[in-house]
Copies of this chain bind each other. A is one copy, B any other.
């Protein structure tokens, strides 16, 4: 038995690829359009970690996707949580839970999927602007 992917639905494929790839740092592995079913699947993974994937399902007919409480989040380890959060913030992504502790941060995708970022190894030393940054919203 082997983990393959977590599937999330996206309402705007371009905005979602901007978030998951350009901002968060995943890369696209493959995509397939299903003309009959009017949907597109795009498989993403962290660079160098292609076995653990996120599957984006984009239904061509518009739908707004809201979250429920049974799903919590996707979690990724990152090499430098401050650099990752700065990159996300510079791109306009709200850092819902800033890495005040040099260890953990949360952001959300355009469709409200919560993403946890965890510093690899030991926490980084506390540093501004993160150390004094308040939470924003929920995650």
List residues of chain A with CB under 8 Å of any chain B CB. Answer: 1-9, 25-26, 45-49, 51-52, 55, 57, 63, 65-79, 109, 111-113, 116, 118, 120
By the criterion CB–CB under 8 Å, are B8 and A70 in contact?
yes
- Give CA–CA (A1, B48) in the complex, Å: 8
- Give CA–CA (A120, B2) in the complex, Å: 9
- Give CA–CA (A25, B126) in the complex, Å: 41
Q: List 9 A-B contacts (CB under 8 A).
A: A3-B49, A3-B76, A6-B72, A7-B71, A7-B72, A55-B75, A67-B71, A70-B109, A71-B113
Classify the secondary structure of A's interface with B.
Answer: strand
By the criterion CB–CB under 8 Å, are A47 and B113 in contact?
no
- Give CA–CA (A109, B70) in the complex, Å: 10
By the criterion CB–CB under 8 Å, are B9 and A69 in contact?
yes
Q: Which residues of B contact A77 (CB under 8 A)?
A: 1-2, 4
Q: Which residues of B contact A71 (CB under 8 A)?
A: 6-9, 67-68, 70-71, 113
